[in-house]
Structures are given as structure tokens and as C-alpha cells.
Structure 1
Amino acid sequence: MAELENPNVMQKMINFLSSLLEQVSESNDIKFRFKPKKVSVFHGLSRPTISIQSYLERIFKYANCSPSCYIVAYVYLDRFTQSQPELPIDSFNVHRLLITSVMIAAKFLDDMYYNNAYYAKVGGINTAEMNFLEVDFLFGIGFHLNVTPTTFYTYCSYLQKEMLHEPALNLAETSLYVGKSSKLLLCHNEDESSHHHQQQLAV
């Protein structure tokens, strides 16, 4: 959507996505504090010192991917939480999930994009770890990479509506909030045959 080209709109979207992910992470930190959780390659040994807001702004500054990538990355995160309910987004994995979803979205959408080594530097991790994160994320969403125009528009419209009503953020309506099914996910209408794009996902 043309509105995404507006720097003010992009900054507002980054602010909103950061706020959403922060609230989801903090909520799950509390909810699963005394419950066993599956530890994955996305989990760090400690919480990163950089805030989600600063991290996403760093990605936006250096990744140079198209604005649409951030919408698609949000779609991918939504799909990941749907298909991997045992891996809720929390303070220990949100940064790695974020850098991975943006990188994969850029590879899928953009004609020109940086390689894994570059994204690793942007994300503050090493290349080998970035490679593992990419593979685990792709398997986590079942290589379901295609995003139809209908789905893209629905997510984009949702974000626009929520941004207009900040700070009234209704976590119960997004599947990023554990235990709730997404009202935005329209996978039933999507083309599952995205194999022709998978070669782009090689390191």
C-alpha cells in the first residue's frame, strides 16, 4: 500500500509493532513463569539489553528492505505462533524471531536483499546462528510463505485501524497473544505452492 512509503506512517507502524511485541512478551513472561516451556534456538540465555523498539528501529535503518516486508514479517510471526503454540513469544526469543521473520520476508518479497551474514550483524548474532534461526523458522511455519493480496490488505488494514486507536491495543484479537486464535489469518484462501521461492532462501 502506498501509505507505507510515508516515513511518518512507517515510524508509527514500527512504534505500534514494538508496543505489541513488548506487551505480548511481558504477558507471556508472567503467564509462563512457573510453567515448563520448550527451549528453542530462538531463546537467548538472558534477556537482550536492547529494547524491542530500538531493535526494530535498527533493523529498519540497516536492512533497507521494502516497507511491505514488515507487514509480511508480522504475518509470519502470526503464523509461527499459530503453528508453534509451545513456543510463545517472550522476552528471551522475541528479538531473534523478529530479525528472522524480517529477513525471510525480505528474501521472499524483494528482488534485492542482504544475505544472512549481513542480517546476523544487524541482529547482533553470528552467521551460523542466523542460518539455524532461518531453517527453524521456515520449518516452524511449514514453509508457508505465500501471502495473498487479500491477506496482506487485511493485516495492513488491521494495523492501520489499531494505530489510529493507540494506545487501545486489544491483545485478545491477535494470535500473538497466547491462547487466542487469530481473526486475521486467512490461510485457507492462500496458495500453498510457494516452492518456487524456496531457492531464494538459501544462504
Structure 2
Amino acid sequence: MATSELPSESDAFAFPCRDDDGTSTALSPPVVISVLASILERHIARNERALATAAAPGDDADGSESAAAATRKRVRAFDSGTVLDMSLHAFLERFSRYAHVPPQVYVVAYAYLDRLRRLGGAGVRVVRANAQRLLTTAILVASKFVEDRNYSNSHFAAVGGLAPAELGALELDFLFLLQFRLNICTSVFRSYCRHLEREESHGGWYYRVQRPPLDRAQHRQAAAA
């Protein structure tokens, strides 16, 4: 999937929740959260089956801090050895309720997780042991990319059940694993929205979650309308 390598002013960093004519959209948090939780549950089941049959990569024989070893170390930082004491749906819903995370942030966070999976050398997979840390960090980073104003890291840490210092370190690991490729261009955003739409329509319903990001000037005009 083609992506823009560098952020540009033509790519938006805000995702308004209404159409260009000012009418509201059906871009509701419950729909996005439900669909995304279902997708992640399937990913986790598939990833854990694959891990059960795959040999775990070892450290470099000479103990050197090569690029590959550093990447594995960052990936292991997300493994907590514990699992969430709630469903993924309830966990994602916490961020909407207590951090007011809009649907577009969830879409971008999902794109980041997919990007981590695809990046060579990282191969980060969501499993039970890393879901809490990985999802909290992905939502934090996506919120900073999408929103002009955000809650503090300590607030996100409290919502995600992590210590503030721990989340700060995980954020840095997340950025390095992504190779600081945070930009999500309009076409990529739309493709992930269409994917969520297809998932929801397969369940017998259809909600329009596709809303391309607008540039900052368009966002201000829409907000003033």
C-alpha cells in the first residue's frame, strides 16, 4: 500500500466529523470501536496461533547492539506477560469515554499497527501479552498526529492502566519501530475506512465511517461554518 514518506501541509492533520456542507456524518465512536475490536480479536487469535508454531528469534550471538537486535529489544518492550482484565471493546471504549478520542484517531492507530506489521525488521504483531501497551501507545501517538490539542501522556497512561514513565518510554520505542513514519495521506486513510466499512457491512449493517482528512485551512472553514 503506497504511503507518503514525509508529512506535507497538503496532508491533513485533523479529521472533522461533519461534511463540507456542515451536515453531521454517521462517524460514530461505537461503530468504529466495535468493528476495530472485532478485527483486533481476530488478529490476536491468528498471531498467537502463528507464534505457537514459530521459533522465537534469539539475540545476536556476540551480544552486539546491531540494528536488528535493537529492533527486537524495542518490540519486546511491549510484552508485559499479562493480559487485559477486560475485553478489547471495553478497553478501546475507555479511551473514547475518558480521553475523548474521536473515531479518526482509532483509524490512524489501526493504520500504524498495520504499518508496524509490514515494516521490515519490526514485524510487530498484536497478541494478548502486548495488547494493553501496544494499543495505548498507538492511540496516544495517533491522537497527537490527528488532534491539535490532547490530554497529557499521564492522562493517557491512567486510561490505559500504565505508569506515565512507562508510556513515555513505549512511545519512543513505537516511534523508532515506525521509523518516524507517522504521516497518513488521504488515500491511505480512506482505504482503512473502507476496510472498516466492509467489516461492518459483513455484519449486516452499514455505517459510513469514511471521511478523508482535510487540510488545516479547510478544517478551519468547516469549523466556522
| TM-score tier after normalising by the smaller chain length | 0.7 to 0.9
- Supply the distance in 1 between the matched residues of 2:122 and 2:35 (Cα, whole angstroms): 23
Which stretch shifts more, 155-164 or 32-41? 32-41
- Tell me if the contact between 1:13 and 1:159 (Cα under 8 Å) persists in the aligned partners: yes
- 1:131: which partner in 2? 168
Aligned-partner SS, 1:88: coil
- Supply the distance in 1 between the matched residues of 2:130 and 2:25 (Cα, whole angstroms): 29
Q: Of the candidates 18, 43, 63, which is equivalent to residue 79 of structure 2?
A: 43
- Tell me if the contact between 1:46 and 1:92 (Cα under 8 Å) persists in the aligned partners: yes
Q: Specify the structure having the higher radius of gyration (Cα).
A: 2
Which digits, 9 at most, give the CA deviation of each residue in 1:34-87, with x for residues without a partner? 531656111112222222111011111111133211111111111111125543
Q: Of the candidates 16, 20, 23, which is equivalent to residue 42 of structure 2?
A: 23
- Tell me if the contact between 1:5 and 1:67 (Cα under 8 Å) persists in the aligned partners: no
Cα drift, residue 166 of structure 1: 2.4
- Supply the distance in 1 between the matched residues of 2:157 and 2:125 (Cα, whole angstroms): 23
2:73 aligned with 1:54, yes or no?
A: no
**Structure 1 stretches of 5 or more lacking a match?**
168-203
- 2:208: which partner in 1? none
Which one has more relative contact order, counting CA pairs under 8 Å at least 6 apart?
Answer: 2
Q: Of the candidates 149, 152, 155, which is equivalent to residue 115 of structure 1?
A: 152
Q: How many residues align?
A: 166
- 1:178: which partner in 2? none
Output the TM-score relative to the length of structure 2.
Answer: 0.67
Q: Of the candidates 118, 142, 148, which is equivalent to residue 82 of structure 1?
A: 118
- Supply the distance in 1 between the matched residues of 2:123 and 2:162 (Cα, whole angstroms): 24
Q: From the superposition, tell whether residues 66 and 46 of structure 1 become closer, same or farther in structure 2 (CA, over 3 Å).
A: closer
- Tell me if the contact between 1:42 and 1:133 (Cα under 8 Å) persists in the aligned partners: yes
Which stretch shifts more, 47-56 or 25-34? 25-34
Larger fraction in helix: 1
